[in-house]
Amino acid sequence: MSSVTIHVAGELDIPELIPLMRAYCDDSDEPHVAKPSTEQLTILCHDVLNDTKHNGIYLLARNENNQAVGFAALFWSWTFIPQPGRQAILSDLYVNPNARGLGIAGALIEACKEQARQYHSIHSIIWQTASDNYSAQKVYERLGVLPKKCVDYELVLLK
């Protein structure tokens, strides 16, 4: 892996997070994925970062030139199954296409694990990926993460 650093993003990182978030949305070929405005993404970032203890965090990956090349959005939740307690949701993970294949996605997931343990004694992290996103699935399996036998549902409340 090339030299990459990962840190918990703060307010000063928002201008670098926004283009990555936009690219993440734009890269999706799913018809239901929104194309949020810069203002909407900025508000979202401020809302999350306003209370990281209860909301969650963004992790930002930088290359050796200090350029932002990827991010992960990790949000805190609760669960009763398989055991009651805190759980984290890896809501979004994105690596710039020019930086893929360098181990950055795996490094972001490892950083998510560390942050989840440090912040809230979280016992698990859950996430989903497209069923045809084979490259992401290979990354997850290389890390020892196996898919669950679940079906996802979504009830859209706002359009």
pLDDT digits (tens, 9 = 90+) for 30-67: 766 778 899 999 999 999 999 999 999 999 999 999 99
CA angle 17, 135, 141 (to 5 degrees): 100
**CATH code reported for the domain at 5-142:** 3.40.630.30
- Report pTM: 0.89
Where do the structural domains in the chain lie, given as residue ranges? 5-142
CA angle 133, 21, 17 (to 5 degrees): 130
Residue at token pair 């993003």: 9
> What average pLDDT score do residues 127-155 get?
88
**Cα 109 from Cα 128, distance rounded (Å):** 13
**Cα 107 from Cα 84, distance rounded (Å):** 28
**Cα 116 from Cα 122, distance rounded (Å):** 6
